[in-house]
């Protein structure tokens, strides 16, 4: 047995671009996602600078429309949806279940290439002149009235969808077939339960998006009346199809985040997750009910009032399993031994931000209030609390938590905590004022606005400046640690998960001997009470 | 002075918006209670059970599922209450409007064109009397727009290909924002106007001062002849077509055995898709006018046919 790990087996470029090692593919995804995150983030920064004043001083209306469309498309499809599943998930899933790799290693590599093809297609649309439809591609604007690169951008998203489906399939088969001896379903870490639920949504919902984008292309190219009423189509049909995918997609984004939080809360309070089975099944419940709420995006669209009633009811119901999770995380802290390491700070921030995002989701599920708030900044604030406050915070938490496993190095705890606190502060300053803006009635997607909205917009833009700096910080201290950080032990946090039972970074095929599982997850009781290494 | 800088919440200006404000307050209080409880527990646990604190940690893994059933049921009941409350106000907001004072709204990239029955038309503005319910009949010429008056807590999408009815009522005179809330292209942010609510007497003055060229119904009548509709539907026509006098608001028997009320939507659909709802005992002869007339012209035809309601058939 040599002491080579997956990073040092080979150094050639070919060994990276033709690898079938899930860990290396995770690194490929990671590098691509950082790239997309900063493109989307740059667009967001430009948007917030423009909105600091009521006039259009920085960009024209057309440029602004292209900016927010690019921000949305890149962030949703090329960062949020693949982030945790394709980087952390790809890296950790086989390690967590004691497997040598994912079930289909070559399919995994292919998924990355498809993802990059989709990403490059979309980038081409942006470089060639941009898209101005908004990430929702609402018809008939997108099919008949937009003079921008709608088809190219939609093609990029369409291609990336195949990557999602293949990754989802790969995870489902892996979790079913490759678990180590003794690893029963109820011994599975909760991160895997949530990735499993996510994968089910990916496989079932993404094809609907693909069909919808194909229909847009059909109408644009051949003038077939599908969505345009002038030639016999129905504009609301598009919204039904689009949200049938895109609402479950929100759960694709948040469920993996919730999964990460289970690992973090449990590790840093040295205690098993309270109500394991409730949390596990809550993931599947969210995935299942999440398919039945799409109509809550259409309460003012003119759909039947009865339909709105049913969708509103289902939207309240889907909040119940999310509430269960929040209460269970809080109860996990009770009688724990809590360490405030950087990942734990992210986890605590997640609970707060996700709860605010979730509660304001109820405001929007509540029919009469939604009539006022929908399509205003209230909605913008709400989904940023879920997606950025929730998902991105969880991603950063998970990244710090597994960083020593991925790189074999420890990062600076001081800088990591500073960044976590700054992100929390900057985030709230950016997005909380937007709730107030929305409640006062400022519509979204406006680059000029009546002057009475300026105060809150200035606060929001100021917060965005802090947030931008805070999101850049990990790039430096994590980047530094990857090369010069202290060496990490196999199990720096002293956690009981299988992924910590092999060296850091792991060898090419993960384990030198096949692990056997004999107990439930999160057993911090006996051997795992010692301090984390970084503390 | 500070109120101009922190204009946090202005009360709504209609009976409905008062209900929405109350609902908003209810949601805020419920959320504040939940958040307060959560943050209290988080802080409490984080302080008391921090790693270096010697707190009592006996029975640390003992747990009872009663807690989970408890908070699942509590969330469910709380959510159910909010759902019912929100739904009941929603049904009031979107109840079928009374047919008192109609205003016709055509949305197009990027303006709101509003027209009163007397022919007074405005761009990006709408004058209405206070304390009277006004029924808006809205149509879109091109893409989806959304008619949004924050002061009334009221919004409705204007979807091409169909009419949307919306009832509005304002309590106090003043100027209020009218926004387009659904993204509609380049000048979406410029598609804003104002609602001018006036005392009824001022409103009547305004209406007469606007000196319309002719009422919309008259213009519709002219179109009715120009487009050749009168050739079949007019008196003394040789082609057998359903008479339109006294039609509006009455049930119409259809050839498939069902019947439909002749409202704005029905008349509009009959002009654009004449073969979808054929009147009983008539042949489906009429050609479609889809793509041949604009939303403005359609509205005038509908208003003209509506104006025939009083005439005996």
Average confidence (pLDDT) per 10 residues, chain A, 535 residues: 77 92 95 95 95 91 93 95 94 94 95 96 92 90 85 92 95 95 93 95 93 89 84 88 92 94 93 90 93 93 91 93 92 91 96 95 94 95 95 96 94 95 96 94 93 93 95 94 91 90 90 87 72 56
**Cross-chain CB nearest to A229 (options B8, B55, B160):** B160
A274 touches chain B (CB under 8 A): yes
Q: What is the pLDDT of residue A530?
A: 61
Residues 160-189 of B with CB under 8 A from A: 160-162, 164, 177, 179-189
Euclidean distance between CA atoms A292 and A2, whole angstroms: 53
Q: Cα angle vertex A278, ends A272, A283, to 5°?
A: 105
Write out the H or E segment, with its range, that includes residue A488: none
The answer to whether the Cβ–Cβ distance between A443 and B179 falls below 8 Å is: yes
The answer to whether the Cβ–Cβ distance between B189 and A316 falls below 8 Å is: no
Q: Report the chain B residue with the minimal C-alpha distance to residue A234.
A: B161
| Residue matched to tokens 């600076």 | A412
Q: Report the chain A residue with the minimal C-alpha distance to residue B140.
A: A229
Tokens of A12: 């050639």
The answer to whether the Cβ–Cβ distance between A440 and B7 falls below 8 Å is: yes
Tokens of A111: 């998924």
**Cross-chain CB nearest to A324 (options B68, B161, B182):** B68
Q: What is the pLDDT of residue B11?
A: 78
| Mean pLDDT, all residues of chain B | 85
Q: What is the pLDDT of residues B70-84, one digit of tens each?
A: 888 888 898 899 999
Q: Report the chain B residue with the minimal C-alpha distance to residue A372.
A: B153
Q: Report the chain B residue with the minimal C-alpha distance to residue A443.
A: B181
Distances (CA, A) of B231 to A168, B225, B235, B296: 63, 8, 9, 22
B85 with B154: CB under 8 angstroms? no
Q: What is the pLDDT of residues A13-27, one digit of tens each?
A: 999 999 999 999 999
Q: What is the pLDDT of residue B306?
A: 84
A262 with A518: CB under 8 angstroms? no
Euclidean distance between CA atoms A76 and A167, whole angstroms: 17
Distance from CA of B270 to the nearest CA of A (A): 14
Q: What is the pLDDT of residues B260-313, one digit of tens each?
A: 888 888 888 888 888 888 888 888 888 888 878 888 888 888 888 888 876 654
The answer to whether the Cβ–Cβ distance between A455 and B157 falls below 8 Å is: no
Q: What is the pLDDT of residue B213?
A: 67
Residue B206: how many CB atoms within 10 A of its CB?
15
A328 with A275: CB under 8 angstroms? yes
Residue B157: how many CB atoms within 10 A of its CB?
26
Q: What is the pLDDT of residue B274?
A: 83
B41 touches chain A (CB under 8 A): yes
A455 touches chain B (CB under 8 A): yes
Q: What is the pLDDT of residue B14?
A: 86
The answer to whether the Cβ–Cβ distance between A359 and B71 falls below 8 Å is: no
Q: Would you list the DSSP string of chain B?
A: -HHHH----PPPSSHHHHHHHHHHHHHHHHHHHHHHHHHHHHHHHHHHTBTTS----TTTT---HHHHHHHHHHHHHHHHHHHHHHHHHHHHHTSPPPSSEEEEEEEETTEEEEE-TTS-EEESEEEEETTS-EEEEEEESSS-EEEEEGGGTEEEEE-TTS-EEEEE--SS-EEEEEEE-S--STTGGG--EEEEEE-HHHHHHHHHHT--SS-HHHHHHHHHHHTTHHHHHSTT-SS-----TT-TTSEEEBTTS-EEE--HHHHHHHHHSTTTSPBTTS---PPP-TTTS-HHHHHHHHHHHHHGGGS--
Tokens of A112: 């990355």
Q: What is the pTM of this model?
A: 0.90
The answer to whether the Cβ–Cβ distance between B181 and A320 falls below 8 Å is: no
Q: What is the pLDDT of residue A183?
A: 93
Q: What is the pLDDT of residues B145-167, one digit of tens each?
A: 999 999 999 999 999 988 888 99
Mention every residue, 6+ apart, whose C-beta is less than 8 A from residue A283: A190, A193, A194, A196, A197, A255, A258, A259, A321
Write out the H or E segment, with its range, that includes residue A486: strand A486-487
Distance from CA of B54 to the nearest CA of A (A): 10
Chain A residues with beta carbon closer than 8 angstroms to that of B34? 355, 359
Tokens of A145: 């009235």
Q: What is the pLDDT of residues B112-153, one digit of tens each?
A: 999 888 888 888 999 999 998 899 999 998 899 999 999 999
A58 touches chain B (CB under 8 A): no
A449 touches chain B (CB under 8 A): yes
ipTM summary value: 0.90
Tokens of A134: 């908004």
Tokens of A96: 């967590």
Euclidean distance between CA atoms A371 and B20, whole angstroms: 9
A441 touches chain B (CB under 8 A): yes
Chain B residues with beta carbon closer than 8 angstroms to that of A452? 4, 7
Chain A residues with beta carbon closer than 8 angstroms to that of B159? 229, 235-236, 301-302
Q: What is the pLDDT of residue A349?
A: 96
Q: Is the pLDDT of residue B244 over 90?
A: no
Chain B residues with beta carbon closer than 8 angstroms to that of A301? 157, 159
Q: Which of B155, B272, B292 to mutate to test the interface with A (most CBs of A within 10 A)?
A: B155
Write out the H or E segment, with its range, that includes residue A89: none
**Cross-chain CB nearest to A324 (options B4, B72, B183):** B72
């Amino acid at each position: 047995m040599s002491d080579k790990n997956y990073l040092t087996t080979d150094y050639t470029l070919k060994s990276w671009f033709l690898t079938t090692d899930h860990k290396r593919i995770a690194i490929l995804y990671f590098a691509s996602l950082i790239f997309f995150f900063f493109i989307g983030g740059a667009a967001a920064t430009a948007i917030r600078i423009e909105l600091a004043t009521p006039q259009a001083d920085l960009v024209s209306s057309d440029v602004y429309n292209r900016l927010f469309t690019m921000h949305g498309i890149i962030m949703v499809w090329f960062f949020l949806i693949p982030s945790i599943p394709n980087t952390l998930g790809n890296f950790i899933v086989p390690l967590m279940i004691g497997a040598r790799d994912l079930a289909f290693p070559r399919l995994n590599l292919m998924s990355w290439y498809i993802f990059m093809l989709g990403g490059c297609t979309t980038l081409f649309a942006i470089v060639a002149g941009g898209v101005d439809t908004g990430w929702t591609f609402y018809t008939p604007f997108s099919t008949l009235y937009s003079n921008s690169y709608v088809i190219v951008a939609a093609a990029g998203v369409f291609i990336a969808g195949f990557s999602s489906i293949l990754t989802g399939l790969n995870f489902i088969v892996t979790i079913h077939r490759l678990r180590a001896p003794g690893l029963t379903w109820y011994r599975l870490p909760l991160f895997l339960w949530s990735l499993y639920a996510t994968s089910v949504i990916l496989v079932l919902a993404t094809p609907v998006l693909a069909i919808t984008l194909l229909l847009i292309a059909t109408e644009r190219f051949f003038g077939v009346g599908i969505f345009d009423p002038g030639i016999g189509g129905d504009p609301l049909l598009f919204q039904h199809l689009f949200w049938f995918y895109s609402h479950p997609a929100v759960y694709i984004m948040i469920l993996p985040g919730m999964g990460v939080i289970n690992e973090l809360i449990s590790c840093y309070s040295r205690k098993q997750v309270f109500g394991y089975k409730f949390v596990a099944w809550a993931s599947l419940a969210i995935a299942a009910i999440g398919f039945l709420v799409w109509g809550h995006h259409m309460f003012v669209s003119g759909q039947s009032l009865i339909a709105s009633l049913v969708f509103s009811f289902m939207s309240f119901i889907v909040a119940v399993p999310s509430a269960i999770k929040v209460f269970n995380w809080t109860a996990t802290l009770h009688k724990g031994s809590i360490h405030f390491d950087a990942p734990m700070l992210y986890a605590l921030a997640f609970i707060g931000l996700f709860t605010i995002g979730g509660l304001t989701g109820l405001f929007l599920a509540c029919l009469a209030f939604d009539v006022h708030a929908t399509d205003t900044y209230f909605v913008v604030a709400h989904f940023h609390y879920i997606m950025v406050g929730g998902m991105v915070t969880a991603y950063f938490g998970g990244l710090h938590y597994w960083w020593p496993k991925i790189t074999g190095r420890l990062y600076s705890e001081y800088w990591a905590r500073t960044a976590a606190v700054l992100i929390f502060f900057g985030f709230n300053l950016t997005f909380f004022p937007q709730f107030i803006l929305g409640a006062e009635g400022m519509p979204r997607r406006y680059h000029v606005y009546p002057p009475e909205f300026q105060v809150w917009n200035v606060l929001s833009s100021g917060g965005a400046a802090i947030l931008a700096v805070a999101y850049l910080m990990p790039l430096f201290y994590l980047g530094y640690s990857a090369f010069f950080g202290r060496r990490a032990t196999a199990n720096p946090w002293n956690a009981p998960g299988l992924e910590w039972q092999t060296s850091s970074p792991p060898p090419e095929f993960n384990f030198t001997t096949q692990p056997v599982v004999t107990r439930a997850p999160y057993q911090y009781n006996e051997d795992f009470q010692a301090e984390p290494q970084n503390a | 002075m500070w109120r101009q800088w922190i204009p946090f919440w202005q009360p709504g200006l209609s009976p409905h918006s008062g209900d929405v404000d109350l609902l908003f307050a209810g949601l805020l209080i419920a959320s504040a209670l939940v958040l307060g409880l959560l943050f209290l527990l988080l802080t409490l646990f984080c302080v008391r059970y921090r790693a270096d604190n010697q707190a009592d940690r006996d029975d640390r893994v003992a747990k009872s599922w009663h807690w989970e059933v408890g908070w699942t049921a509590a969330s469910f009941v709380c959510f159910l209450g909010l759902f019912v409350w929100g739904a009941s106000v929603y049904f009031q907001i979107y109840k079928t409007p009374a047919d008192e004072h109609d205003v016709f709204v055509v949305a197009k990239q990027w303006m709101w064109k509003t027209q009163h029955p007397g022919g007074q038309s405005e761009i990006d503005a709408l004058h209405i009397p206070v304390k009277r319910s006004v029924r808006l009949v809205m149509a879109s010429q091109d893409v989806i727009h959304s008619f949004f008056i924050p002061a009334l807590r009221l919004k409705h999408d204007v979807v091409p290909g169909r009419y949307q009815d919306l009832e509005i009522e304002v309590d106090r005179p003043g100027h209020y924002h009218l926004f387009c809330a659904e993204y509609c292209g380049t000048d979406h942010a410029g598609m804003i106007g104002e609602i001018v609510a006036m005392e009824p007497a001022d409103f009547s003055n305004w209406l007469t001062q606007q000196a319309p060229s002719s009422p919309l119904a008259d213009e519709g009548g002219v179109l009715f002849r120009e487009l050749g509709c009168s050739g079949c539907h007019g008196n003394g026509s040789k082609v057998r077509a359903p008479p339109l006098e006294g039609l509006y608001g009455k049930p119409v028997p259809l050839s498939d055995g069902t019947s439909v009320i002749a409202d704005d939507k029905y008349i509009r659909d009959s002009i654009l898709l004449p073969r979808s709802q054929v009147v009983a005992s008539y042949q489906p002869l009429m050609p479609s006018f889809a793509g041949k007339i604009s939303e403005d012209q359609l509205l005038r035809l509908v208003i003209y046919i509506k104006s025939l309601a009083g005439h005996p058939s």
